[in-house]
Structure 1
């Protein structure tokens, strides 16, 4: 029997499907497709035995324009039953063809091949996911490794940018401000403490003058600023402050 009697499609879920329009044409019926389809569709379950394939069949009109017609994708079992119910010699031929297709599809060899393909696809998916997550893990480890909060100078070196550039970025985006004019100490806005910044306790110096607590950037803060300002092309991280 000709294996190309009617084409069989295999979807992403590994299910075999038959075009209703192709089946109608192969059966050689005179009844219009829409009338023929109405005759059978209520006998079967939408979403299980068949599914809609809207505007999936291109045809060329007399003026040369392409028009797209609606179609339906049938399970092989449904296509087999419709062919049998046609009660024609052609219908019997197509029914026998579908029976052979089902036998081949359910053979141990093809079932094993499908299982191996499914497992291979899963493996490829896992490998892709691991590759996607690796930059996140490496970036996270870069800043979390020490587990310590550090000063702006050390943080800028860690991020690979100039200290003044980091200060300008944080000040311009209102994460920090400078106390007492141009040469005052850098201080974080309170809403970013202690998530992005911590303050090392202040105290009284040898001269008896009280000094301001020193600002430190947390590991999370450094990761956040690096992703947001230094290298925004990195894979996305959940870094909302």
Structure 2
């Protein structure tokens, strides 16, 4: 089997490079925008992937790449819902199967190719890894629900601690809608979403994404709608807009 996507050994565990997977999947978005969106599906640094900085061809400006576990790579491929995504997922499954009995099934040429890939990984990429960090991608800042933010229900309860405010979850949704922070989608799965320009990019709200799930009725993978979260900045602006009179106790 030809190597569609190079497989590397990371601490004895097979893995792939994020940019290699991005290229194979033929994703139109820039890697620095695409990968943070994939991470927002619930993957964890240090467990599912490792970030590092590398200079292309050993020179020029460093760029961020990631070492991804095969489990994460399979799930990312499935999320794409494309033929390339299906092909990549089946390829990773086959790679895992062969890894359990590599000598018996790999040809001499394939063993040589694997040795070359491992050498390249060690020399060009893993030795180039540094702890230097770039500014986080905008999509990660706006999509990842950082520690300290609130569900709308929690935000309503916190705001109601002020003697001058009495508001529930549904009322708070309607109030944020009146402020132009959120909008209601249409269809059988209608839900509230935060506006990019007035809420997410301003740091008032965030979206928390859940992992896709298998719809047993249709047999298709479905993506749950994003959950609206209220940031500390948004909470204080809501407190002020609602005419709060006391100290806001978070």
Q: Which range, TM-score by smaller chain?
A: 0.3 to 0.5
Q: TM-score, normalised by structure 2?
A: 0.38
Q: Which has the larger radius of gyration?
A: 1
**Higher RCO (C-alpha 8 Å, min separation 6):** 2
- TM-score, reference length from structure 1: 0.40
